[in-house]
């Protein structure tokens, strides 16, 4: 009996002996997107699982090659649609490396970037927890999580102008300072957060049904996690304390105090605990950033070759008008070279390998998508599991298909 090599086989189910090949997805509610898994099963036990991806392939890397450096940011932001600010941050950091302006980014811009990245981490983990619990049949958690996520999306909208894809990062800083009233809203969220987290923990952490479904499910040892190239909470749930924010600090992360939670069990419950604690650590960073944000300062690099000059100067200065026109009509140029820049996205190490040929468009934007590699580990994890546990395993890896397929 062999697995079907063709993903779109018309025969959904075929029998041979005791084993059966079953296609799970691509339209399955627990796959969090469009994932097809070709399962070879015997009874309820999975003998082999082969995920089939690509149903959401939108050619983002190809599109990015044909857009200006600043325009490409908008398409790469759409890869991980649950954590858009992480994608945008990684991309702008890479471009800034190529431009050689990393050290010239204003302090306040870096602080706001950290704030956005951590807010988006909490929002993303809220979606993971809410939808992951729906997979287990626990509906109410979803509403608690999405309520908190809604507060964060409001903040994103206030800062960038859009809820889902704020496009707030810019090469050279961020797009405008935080609006009036933003910090008050942020304070309200900071005040609300501990109570909400306590509620979530009370509902789940010691819940026997939740523990039954997650403990010992989807075990991943530290060695096999490394071999499968798993990063982020899934790797830390297996006991390896690798966090890009600590190992390769960017945006001044070394100034903030936070812990990297790890667990040694390597099962779905360990990953759950790691992510919950990560949300609390993210809030710890946000509180530290918040204290710095009272002092005003510039949020954009003072270099009109890269950043458009302030709008109000356009009517007064011929040069400002020319720079503005040049940046809008043909973008800025980036010196030739290649760079690999990584950030810690909510799913793990998000990397961009960017090549520039000196033009006003990226020559190549290669992404290291954490979701793709994390999901690939399912191949090793699923063998011997029950089909019902497969749903938990997928949920505990937290893949986002915009990023897996790009």
Q: Does 360 bind another protein (CB under 8 A)?
A: yes
Q: Which stretch binds another protein (CB under 8 A): 14-22, 39-47, 191-199, 356-364?
A: 356-364
Task: Give the integer Cα–Cα distance in Å for 64 and 70.
Answer: 10
Identity of the residue, 179 or 358, whose beta carbon is nearer to another protein in the bound complex: 358
- List of residues 6+ apart from 60 with CB closer than 8 A: 75, 76, 78, 79, 367, 406
Q: Which stretch binds another protein (CB under 8 A): 13-21, 75-83, 193-201, 364-372?
A: 364-372
Q: How far is the CB of 172 from another protein (least distance, A)?
A: 17
Task: Give the integer Cα–Cα distance in Å for 301 and 393.
Answer: 44
Cis peptide before 26 (omega within 30 of 0): yes
Identity of the residue, 60 or 145, whose beta carbon is nearer to another protein in the bound complex: 60
Site for another protein, residues 174 to 213, rule: CB under 8 A: none
> Where do we find the tokens 């627990």?
30
Q: How far is the CB of 79 from another protein (least distance, A)?
A: 13
- List of residues 6+ apart from 396 with CB closer than 8 A: 132, 214, 217, 218, 234, 268, 271, 272
Instruction: Specify which residues 355 forms β-bridges with.
Output: 338, 364
Count the helix, strand and coil residues of the chain and give each as a percent rounded to the nearest 5.
Answer: 50, 15, 35
Q: Which element (helix H / strand E) includes 396?
A: helix 387-397
Q: Which stretch binds another protein (CB under 8 A): 131-139, 142-150, 239-247, 265-273?
A: 239-247
Identity of the residue, 166 or 237, whose beta carbon is nearer to another protein in the bound complex: 237
Q: How far is the CB of 211 from another protein (least distance, A)?
A: 24
Structure tokens at 308: 């458009």
Q: What number of residues does the chain have?
A: 406
CA angle at residue 284 from 282 to 286, to 5 degrees?
70
Q: Does 227 bind another protein (CB under 8 A)?
A: yes
Q: Of 5, 68, 54, which is closest to residue 26 (Cα–Cα)?
A: 54
Q: How far is the CB of 358 from another protein (least distance, A)?
A: 4
Q: Does 402 bind another protein (CB under 8 A)?
A: no
Contact letters (x/-) for another protein, 3-22, by CB under 8 A? Answer: --xxxx--------------
Q: How far is the CB of 121 from another protein (least distance, A)?
A: 17
Identity of the residue, 132 or 233, whose beta carbon is nearer to another protein in the bound complex: 233
Structure tokens at 173: 């800083």
CA angle at residue 124 from 119 to 127, to 5 degrees?
135
Q: How far is the CB of 244 from another protein (least distance, A)?
A: 10
**Residue 399 · residue 374 · CB < 8 Å:** yes
Among 81, 146, 182, 363, binds another protein (CB under 8 A): 363
Identity of the residue, 149 or 406, whose beta carbon is nearer to another protein in the bound complex: 406
Burial class (CB in 10 A: 0-12, 13-18, 19+), 312: exposed
Among 59, 298, 310, 384, binds another protein (CB under 8 A): 59
Q: Does 335 bind another protein (CB under 8 A)?
A: yes
Among 202, 325, 340, 383, binds another protein (CB under 8 A): 340
Identity of the residue, 127 or 240, whose beta carbon is nearer to another protein in the bound complex: 240
Q: Which stretch binds another protein (CB under 8 A): 159-167, 221-229, 294-302, 315-323?
A: 221-229
Task: Give the integer Cα–Cα distance in Å for 68 and 254.
Answer: 32
Q: How many CB atoms lie within 10 A of CB 140?
A: 11
Site for another protein, residues 70 to 109, rule: CB under 8 A: 97-98
At 15 the three-state DSSP class reads strand
Q: Which stretch binds another protein (CB under 8 A): 41-49, 156-164, 202-210, 351-359?
A: 351-359
Helix axes 140-160, 182-204, angle to 10 degrees: 160
Identity of the residue, 257 or 312, whose beta carbon is nearer to another protein in the bound complex: 257
Q: Does 252 bind another protein (CB under 8 A)?
A: no
Site for another protein, residues 305 to 324, rule: CB under 8 A: none
Helical residues (DSSP H) of 49-104, grouped into ranges = 60-65, 69-76, 84-99
* Binding site residues, another protein, CB under 8 A: 5-8, 53-54, 57, 59, 61-63, 65-66, 68, 97-98, 222-223, 226-229, 239-243, 246-248, 260, 262, 264, 329-331, 335-341, 349, 351, 353, 355, 357-361, 363-364, 366, 368, 372-373, 376, 379-380, 405-406
């Amino acid at each position: 009996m062999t697995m079907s090599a063709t993903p779109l086989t018309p025969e959904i189910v075929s029998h041979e002996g005791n084993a059966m090949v079953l296609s799970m997805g691509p339209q399955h509610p627990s796959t969090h997107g469009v994932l097809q898994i070709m399962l070879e099963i015997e009874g309820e036990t999975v003998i082999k699982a082969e995920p089939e991806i690509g149903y959401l392939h939108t050619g983002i890397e190809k599109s990015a090659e044909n857009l200006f450096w600043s325009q490409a940011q908008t398409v790469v932001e759409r890869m991980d649609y649950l954590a858009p600010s992480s994608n945008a941050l990684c991309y702008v950091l890479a471009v800034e490396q190529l431009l050689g302006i990393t050290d010239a980014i204003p302090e306040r811009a870096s602080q706001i970037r950290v704030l956005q990245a951590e807010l988006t981490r909490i929002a993303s983990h809220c979606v993971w927890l809410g939808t992951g619990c729906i997979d287990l049949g626990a509906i109410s958690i979803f509403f608690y999580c999405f309520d908190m996520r809604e507060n964060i999306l409001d903040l994103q909208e206030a800062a960038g102008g859009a809820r889902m894809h704020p496009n707030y990062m810019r090469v050279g800083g961020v797009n405008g300072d935080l609006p009036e009233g933003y910090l008050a809203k942020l304070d309200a969220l900071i005040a609300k957060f501990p109570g909400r987290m306590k509620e979530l923990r009370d509902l789940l952490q010691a819940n026997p049904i939740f523990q039954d479904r997650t403990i010992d499910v989807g075990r991943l040892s530290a060695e096999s996690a490394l071999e499968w190239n798993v990063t982020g909470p899934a790797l830390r749930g297996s006991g390896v304390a690798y966090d890009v924010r600590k190992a390769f600090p960017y945006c001044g992360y070394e100034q903030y105090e936070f812990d990297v939670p790890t667990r040694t069990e390597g099962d779905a419950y360990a990953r759950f605990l790691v992510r919950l604690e990560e949300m609390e650590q993210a809030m710890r960073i946000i509180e530290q950033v918040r204290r710095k944000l009272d002092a005003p300062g510039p949020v954009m690099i003072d270099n009109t070759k890269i950043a458009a000059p302030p709008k109000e100067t356009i009517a007064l200065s011929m040069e400002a008008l020319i720079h503005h026109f040049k940046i809008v009509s043909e973008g800025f140029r980036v010196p030739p070279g290649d760079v690999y820049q990584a950030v810690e996205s909510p799913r793990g190490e998000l990397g961009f390998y960017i090549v520039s040929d000196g033009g006003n468009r990226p020559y190549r934007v290669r992404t290291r998508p954490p979701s793709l590699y994390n999901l690939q580990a399912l191949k090793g994890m699923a063998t011997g599991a029950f089909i019902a546990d497969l749903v938990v395993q997928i949920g505990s890896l937290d893949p986002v298909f915009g990023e897996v397929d790009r």
